[in-house]
């Protein structure tokens, strides 16, 4: 690739396609859920396992497709943090969380909200979506390689690009 803007545009185009395909599959699988509720559940799932992803021994311990992070090690997240992270009004987050708690998907622990290990919808332990994600990630990496981006070293040129303007 010849310059930083070419790399940035190429990576942006391919990663956006990956994200949209992933969201589409998630919405297709959980078709009786509102997409905003799915976004909230998956943002909470992500927050719950940040400590696992940052600890190599925990990451390895729970790396199996059959291993589920127990509720006791999940890092809770507040409604306010979710509101800020997702750029949603706090009242919207509160209302949606209340509905998800009634469905026994979320629980409130001392440290905040978690997606329960025992939720009936298998959020966080959906093998079909995990397998689909592997296919989509493989496609993303193949497409980036075909575009001349083989790894992080190929992105160094993009660091010199002008930083994006902040959205208002």
pLDDT in tens, 118-130: 999 999 999 999 9
Task: Write down the domain spans for the chain.
Answer: 1-33+126-149, 35-120
pTM: 0.85
| Domain formed by 35-120, architecture | Orthogonal Bundle (1.10)
What does 90-117 look like in DSSP terms, one character per residue? Answer: HHHHHHHHHHHHHTTSEEEETTEEEE-T
d(CA 42, CA 4): 32
> Please, what is the average pLDDT of the chain?
92
């Amino acid at each position: 690739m010849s310059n930083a803007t070419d790399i940035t545009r190429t990576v942006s185009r391919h990663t956006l396609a990956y994200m949209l395909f992933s969201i589409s599959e998630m919405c297709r699988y959980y078709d009786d859920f509102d997409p905003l509720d799915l976004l909230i559940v998956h943002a909470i799932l992500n927050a719950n396992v940040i400590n696992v992803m940052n600890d190599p021994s925990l990451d390895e311990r729970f790396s199996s497709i059959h291993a589920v992070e127990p509720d006791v090690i999940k890092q809770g997240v507040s409604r306010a943090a979710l509101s800020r992270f997702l750029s949603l009004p706090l009242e919207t987050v509160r209302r949606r969380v209340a509905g998800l708690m009634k469905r026994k998907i979320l629980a409130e622990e001392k440290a905040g909200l978690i997606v329960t290990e025992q939720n009936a919808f298998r959020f966080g332990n959906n093998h079909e979506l995990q397998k689909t994600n592997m296919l989509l990630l493989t496609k993303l990496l193949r497409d980036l390689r075909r575009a001349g981006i083989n790894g992080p070293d190929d992105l160094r040129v993009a660091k010199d690009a002008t930083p994006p303007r902040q959205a208002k």
